[in-house]
Structure 1
Amino acid sequence: MQKNAQQWIDNFLLHLNNERRFSPHTLSNYQRDLNGITSYCDTVDVVEWSMLDAKHVRAWLAYRHRQGIGGRSLARALSALRSFLRYLIRENHLKNNVAQGIQAPKAPRKLPEPLDVDEMFRLLSPIASPIESPVASAVEPSRNPKSALLVLRDNAMLELMYSAGLRLAELLSLNVGEIDLAAGSVEVTGKGNKSRVVPVGRYAHKALVLWQQRRSELANNGEAALFVSQRGGRITARAVQQRFRQRGIQQGIESRVHPHKLRHAFASHLLESSGDLRAVQELLGHADISTTQIYTHLDFQHLAEVYDKAHPRARKK
């Protein structure tokens, strides 16, 4: 493609980052997907976005499918292309979105795998000493004088993610001023730059108070981020993932602990207790309730297991 065609992709990604506040992970996926369609366009002599038509999009999807790309990845790539073409229309560079009516192959719905309540209680059990494990020692040496501060920070991050059902990107972007401890709430900026206010539970509140009392010992002067790294700046996604994984190992959690599992646990535990799908949708910040409904399937799966074990006429193996 011509150089200015690639420049439009760069401008679009800047728009998503600056105006819509997409996470680095989502931006990376969009960039990879759009670079993929650009490479395909080069093979079929499409040198400008105005030359792209529906048959090219369908052929590209078929080509990627033959390469073994799954339905979920194809759907994401098609969504990225639709969004990009909408951006070009908004910028008066295109008239029609040729990807709008095209469907990607359906992917099997994958249920989330949340931690159960007992596992969550074990994970959130407070630890007073530094993390001691082979994995941890490679990342955070046990002699680190800041270890006690890191444990306070980790406790606060874990409790807040489970209490408020935050996405990892939402946790990372939090600033000190967005936590209202007096009101017991946190203001979150989620996908699409949409804000929501989520209540903070008493355990998360206590963990946040303890962290905020000591945060200045770790944070650089003038740093706005609520959660900071050992170097005093805003903590990264990779650092949070590593720390949560270490915590899971130390607390004897068999499955691998990653940040999104806490969001899944928040949703499934709350839905199981309340049955209020709309409330859970609002708390999670889902624009479409069908996204939240996946947790009702998870809840039914649990109920079906109970039924099979307990009902005298169940289809037991």
Structure 2
Amino acid sequence: MHDELSGFLAYLRMEKRASELTTKSYEHDLVKFLHYIEQRWNISAAAVSYVHIREYLTELYAEELARTSVSRKLSSLRSFYTFLLREERIKENPLVLIHAPKQGKKLPSFFYEEELSLLFESVNTSTSLGKRNLALLELLYATGIRVGECVKLDVKDFDLYLETLLVKGKGGKERYVPVGSFAAEALTIYMNEARPLLKPADEALFVNYQGKRLTARGIQKMLNKLSTDASINSRMSPHVLRHTFATHMLNEGADLRTVQELLGHSDLAATQIYTHVTKDRLREVYRRSHPRA
């Protein structure tokens, strides 16, 4: 059992080039499943059938897990058994007839321009960390990059002359994204006036007060404080800023393919959710503005 799991995790790292976070997520789901079948039926992964999977799903639902959580665990199992089938450790995939639970449509949260203005105005740029915070906030909104991509940025990845950023995305894929004039100006001030005073230990673009590379947790903590200072009650996170970037781009007429490329989505379907947001926004404006709405 452990050999099967070890082989699958090695496959994720070596062949699929999955991130450590993704690999750990798969491992967590699969360890729980393997422990369950061992305790419940005393069988190995290779002996699992459709019936065992169905009963395991029943157990998950009994725990009152969200449908998204069940879908994720099911996705981990599907990938695991696809691997075992490829390696000829099983003859049939027990998940062939298993369907993922239907997901409710949950539209991504985003900020209106008025809320963002309050957020930008709340930044105190009289300190080195304040200049960093403004540059970070401007960059996240200007580019829509993921927080994991942001923390990996080095100084050399920002081209001031071309106002572009080299982003290292999922699966080792790289893309260039434009940086708006506001973000470029804030970045320039931070890099010239604030970053040297923070005594960076390496070439990381964004560093903390100790000069070490800023972490995703550090960014979230900073955004929480800014939202509190700006008296914004909505949930604040780097991903909400990413949603805001995409929504505002589409609201202003950007085409879906362009937004897909800027976000680094491999599948257009992942970008299409933002069209629902913009349609809702249009309906809201229409109902509020039209005399006979």
> Are residues 1:66 and 2:65 paired?
no
Decide which moves more: 304-313 or 95-104.
Answer: 95-104
State percent identity of aligned pairs.
37
Decide which moves more: 185-194 or 110-119.
Answer: 185-194
Residue deviations 1:72-108 (CA, integer Å, cap 9, x gap): 1111112222333445566676676543553211120
Residue aligning to 2:214 = 235
Query: Tell me, which stretches of 5 or more residues in structure 2 are unaligned?
Result: none
Query: Tell me, which stretches of 5 or more residues in structure 1 are unaligned?
Result: 131-147
TM-score, structure 1 length as denominator? 0.82
> Are residues 1:76 and 2:72 paired?
yes
Q: Measure the CA separation in 1 of the matches of 2:4 and 2:215.
A: 32
Decide which moves more: 84-93 or 284-293.
Answer: 84-93
- Aligned partner letter, 2:195: R
Q: Measure the CA separation in 2 of the matches of 1:100 and 1:218.
A: 55
Q: Measure the CA separation in 1 of the matches of 2:256 and 2:172.
A: 23
Cα contact 1:188–1:197 (8 A) shared by 2: yes
Residue aligning to 2:43 = 46
Residue aligning to 1:11 = 10
Q: Measure the CA separation in 1 of the matches of 2:49 and 2:128.
A: 56
> Are residues 1:169 and 2:137 paired?
no
Residue aligning to 2:18 = 20
Q: How has the CA–CA distance of structure 1 residues 129 and 165 changed in structure 2, closer, same or farther, with 3 Å as cutoff?
A: closer
Q: How has the CA–CA distance of structure 1 residues 4 and 127 changed in structure 2, closer, same or farther, with 3 Å as cutoff?
A: same
CA RMSD of aligned residues (A): 2.5
Count of residue pairs the alignment pairs up:
291
Q: How has the CA–CA distance of structure 1 residues 233 and 95 changed in structure 2, closer, same or farther, with 3 Å as cutoff?
A: farther
Residue aligning to 2:292 = 313
Cα contact 2:166–2:175 (8 A) shared by 1: yes
TM-score, structure 2 length as denominator? 0.88
* 1:95-114 → structure 2 map (5 Å cutoff): 97-99=93-95, 102-114=98-110
Residue aligning to 1:116 = 112
Cα contact 1:169–1:237 (8 A) shared by 2: yes
What is the aligned counterpart of 1:300 among 257, 271, 279? 279
Q: How has the CA–CA distance of structure 1 residues 169 and 248 changed in structure 2, closer, same or farther, with 3 Å as cutoff?
A: same
Displacement of 1:168 in angstroms is 0.9
Displacement of 1:165 in angstroms is 0.4
